[in-house]
Amino acid sequence: MSSNDRLIRKLQADTVLGDYEIETLARLPIRPADLAGRQDIVKEGDRPSKCCLVVEGVAIRYKLTAHGDRQILAVHLPGDVPDLQSLLLRTLDHTLATLSPCRVGFIDHADLLDAITRAPMLGRALWRETLIDAAIFREWMTGLGRRDAPERLAHFFCEIGTRLQAVGLAADNGYPLHITQQELADAMGLTTVHINRTLRELREAGLVTLSDGRVSIPDWSGLRARASFDPTYLHLRSR
Amino acid sequence: MSSNDRLIRKLQADTVLGDYEIETLARLPIRPADLAGRQDIVKEGDRPSKCCLVVEGVAIRYKLTAHGDRQILAVHLPGDVPDLQSLLLRTLDHTLATLSPCRVGFIDHADLLDAITRAPMLGRALWRETLIDAAIFREWMTGLGRRDAPERLAHFFCEIGTRLQAVGLAADNGYPLHITQQELADAMGLTTVHINRTLRELREAGLVTLSDGRVSIPDWSGLRARASFDPTYLHLRSR
DNA sequence: CGCGCTATTGAGAGAGCTCAATGTGCGTGG
DNA sequence: CCACGCACATTGAGCTCTCTCAATAGCGCG
């Protein structure tokens, strides 16, 4: 699938696009690049002049505290534009990095601004993407503040599965996800050791298994129940 | 200060506005209303047809978990439009409520959409507001996941002070904030009891005092240091 | 074949939680 | 004007979830 098609497909998971907007997107210049895993793309403090579309693979955004602890803020799947906000916010307040090896596409701010000037409804669709991004932050905040480790982790696996399904990249019984327990810990606000034990707990309960870069979900409804997962916050078009 | 002026002033704290955008904002129909404290304005699941501008007072947004715990997601000060996202996201994924008694201004989605159609740069300024909103969420996530209670609380007091200063509502030595320890606990992802003890710790260290609805900061630089506070994420125009 | 990264497990420690009692200020009804 | 109820703040004591420290094991790669 081309970079442009990946973006079109993702936007269509969230919003109804008109022919003109689709056409504009199809013509948008996107420069492809292949990146290794665990590698920073743009760093906190940078002032990028382009956005980065995830075409294949998984990207993350994170912050470091003054004490050197890391908090992973978001996980980005194919079709996402993790740093879309850099279009209007000059300096980056966090770092964007690859998790797995990624194929990405760079889109110049100038081209994107030009596109949304010519197709204002496309601008709204992109604005909407950033609003969904924020909705996901809110859900994560709720988890970080008020959910215990098993629920938080179960919720995470539900969310990623649901988002992958929305772009056609998840099977019914699981999905690929090359994430280490250290990274899971940094995303959940926990430690590796505790992630390990919590993962075991969920596995022994027959809800999820993470191994060899694959999340297996033998019991979706059990997992959803364990997480009290309600996908409304993802603001997907169907479901 | 009128509702429109309050909004203009806030947007100018974040973005340079042109005369035409200011003019458009000044003409925007805003219906004022006075609301009591601790009262929901719009609830999770609602599909509002208007946005709510905070003119005076403090508003919050929160979510409830399946177990009935509350997480406060954001604190909104005069000039903020806490539910601006409802312009593009049909159903609300959280609740908006007053904290203190508030004067608010309701702006119909139709009027706002009309304004940003006529003044696309105003649309970008509003988009930018929602992006800053998201940047604050990211900072809070970092705190919830990776900062201990004293640092998290100190960071909160720094943020609110800085944001109030940006709209000219804070003195050098503190600011008014009618928030209970229960609400602070729900914002910090902690319990009331622990907030109480942490507040005492910060008070005894001579950094902040919260009493009678007022935050007193005898030692700003000490507080900032305790919190490792860096205001970059607020994306304010000056500073 | 040895280093480095990741996963796993045990044991002890601690930050933050729960439960519960007490204090304090304020508004309301008698 | 006083008594009472109620919301909020404060403090103690014990508990638990999660952390820290540390050791072991598996695996890929130079």
Over its length of 239 residues, how does chain A's per-residue pLDDT go in tens digits?
799 999 999 999 999 999 999 999 999 999 999 999 999 999 999 999 999 999 999 999 999 999 999 999 999 999 999 999 999 999 999 999 999 999 999 999 999 999 999 999 999 999 999 999 999 999 999 999 999 999 999 999 999 999 999 999 999 999 999 999 999 999 999 999 999 999 999 999 999 999 999 999 999 999 999 999 999 999 998 75
Chain C bases near protein Cβ (<7 Å)? 5-11, 15-20
- The total number of residues shown for chain A amounts to 239
The count of residues in chain B is 239
What does the pLDDT read at residue A99? 97
What whole-number distance in Å separates Cα of residue B151 and Cα of residue B105? 35
CB-CB: which of B124, B127, B141 is closest to A144? B141
- Distance, Å, B190 CA → C17 C1': 9
Query: DSSP for A80-133?
Result: --TTGGGGT-SS-SSEEEESS-EEEEEEEHHHHHHHHHH-HHHHHHHHHHHHHH
Q: For residue A238, what pLDDT is reported?
A: 73
Whether residues B141 and A146 touch (CB distance < 8 A) is answered with no
Kindly report the bases of strand D lying within 7 A of a protein C-beta atom.
7-13, 17-22
Euclidean distance between CA atoms B215 and B177, whole angstroms: 6
| Other residues' Cβ atoms within 10 Å of the Cβ of residue A56 | 16
Backbone angles phi, psi at A236, to 5 degrees: -75, 155
pLDDT of residue B165: 95
Select from B91, B117, B141 the Cβ nearest to the Cβ of A232.
B91
Question: How many CB atoms lie under 10 A from the CB of residue B22?
Answer: 17
Calculate ∠ Cα A5-A8-A14, nearest 5°. Answer: 145
Residue with tokens 């609380």: B153
Closest CB to B131: pick one of A63, A130, A188.
A130
pLDDT given at position A190: 98
Strand D contacted by B191 CB (< 7 A): no
CB contact under 8 A, A144 and B139: no
Query: CA at A13, C1' at D27: how many angstroms apart?
Result: 39
The DSSP symbol for B14 reads: H
Q: Which residues pair with B211 in a beta bridge?
A: B214
* B91 beta carbon to strand D: under 7 Å: no
Q: Which of residues 199-218 of B touch strand D (CB under 7 A)?
A: 199-200, 211
* Predicted local distance difference test score (pLDDT) of residue B1: 79
Q: CB-CB: which of A63, A147, A233 is closest to B93?
A: A233
Q: For B180 and C25, how far is CA from C1' in angstroms?
A: 14
**What's residue A1's pLDDT?**
79
Which residues of chain B fall short of a pLDDT of 70?
Answer: 239
Kindly determine whether residue B73 and residue A141, on different chains, have CB atoms separated by under 8 Å. Answer: yes
CA at A55, C1' at C15: how many angstroms apart? 42
CB contact under 8 A, B144 and A189: yes
Q: For residues B194 and B16, what is the distance between their CA atoms, to the nearest angstrom?
A: 42
Nucleotide nearest to A148 (CA to C1'): D17
**Other beta carbons less than 10 A from residue B92's beta carbon:** 20
| Beta carbons of B123 and A128 less than 8 Å apart | no
CB B72 within 8 A of CB B143: no
Asked whether the whole model's pTM tops 0.75, one would answer yes
Chain B residues with a Cβ under 8 Å from any Cβ in chain A: 61, 63, 65-67, 69-71, 73, 85, 88-91, 93-94, 117, 120, 123-124, 127-128, 130-135, 137-142, 144-147, 188-189, 228, 232-233, 235
- Rounded Cα–Cα distance for residues B112 and B123 (Å): 9
